[in-house]
């Protein structure tokens, strides 16, 4: 890849970050790479989780951001009795694993009964993929850190040429 192609790629990445749904702060590093800090709001995280669950029986997904994690709750309509709903709840932690976003859902329950692990594993992967996309994850971007505060989710990426 020549210098012009590399520069054009970086410009396109930066422009896509600027036009994405989440907020992004971009700064150039001395080595020519970029540091990109993306901020995802509680509402954006809630939308990602809702679409990741993708279950018509799950409604009213609510995310509560805490210091270091998010609490998720929703209504779960009973399959055998559409007139009754149960409460779905879980804790969501975010971390960096080898430069990629990792999610960990714990204490996933419907009215106190633990969910099957394969469903939780699927949600973990889908949420991580969608959050990375929302944060504009690219092949040449490495996640440096992720944090959850009561205000937002912050991810810091290093983007190389």
Question: Three-state DSSP class for 6?
Answer: helix
Question: Three-state DSSP class for 58?
Answer: strand
Mean pLDDT of 34-39: 87
Q: Where are the domains of the chain?
A: 3-159
> Residue 89, Cβ neighbours under 10 Å: how many?
18
In residues, how long is the chain?
Answer: 161
Say if residue 13 is exposed, middle or buried (CB neighbours under 10 Å; 0-12, 13-18, 19+). buried
Instruction: Tell me the pLDDT tens digit for each residue of 100-132.
Output: 899 999 999 999 999 999 999 999 999 999 988
CA angle 127, 131, 135 (to 5 degrees): 170
Q: Could you tell me the two tokens for 2?
A: 């020549």
Whole-model pTM: value is 0.81
Contacts of 92 (CB under 8 A, 6+ apart): 49, 63, 69, 70, 71, 72, 103, 104, 105, 127
Instruction: Tell me the pLDDT tens digit for each residue of 48-61.
Output: 999 999 899 999 99
Torsion of CA 41, 43, 44, 49, to 10 degrees: 120
């Amino acid at each position: 890849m020549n210098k012009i192609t590399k520069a054009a790629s970086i410009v396109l990445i930066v422009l896509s970050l600027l036009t994405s749904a989440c907020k992004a702060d971009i700064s150039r590093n001395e080595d020519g790479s970029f540091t990109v800090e993306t901020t995802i709001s509680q509402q954006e995280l809630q939308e990602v989780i809702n679409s990741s669950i993708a279950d018509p029986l799950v409604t009213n997904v609510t995310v509560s951001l805490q210091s270091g994690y998010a609490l998720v709750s929703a209504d779960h309509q009973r399959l055998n009795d559409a007139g009754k709903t149960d409460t779905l709840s879980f804790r969501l932690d975010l971390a960096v694993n080898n430069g990629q976003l990792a999610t960990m859902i714990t204490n996933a329950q419907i009215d106190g009964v633990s969910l099957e692990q394969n469903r939780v594993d699927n949600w973990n992967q889908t949420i991580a993929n969608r959050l990375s996309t929302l944060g504009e994850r690219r092949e040449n971007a490495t996640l440096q850190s992720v944090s959850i505060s009561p205000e937002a989710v912050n991810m810091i990426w290093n983007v190389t040429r």
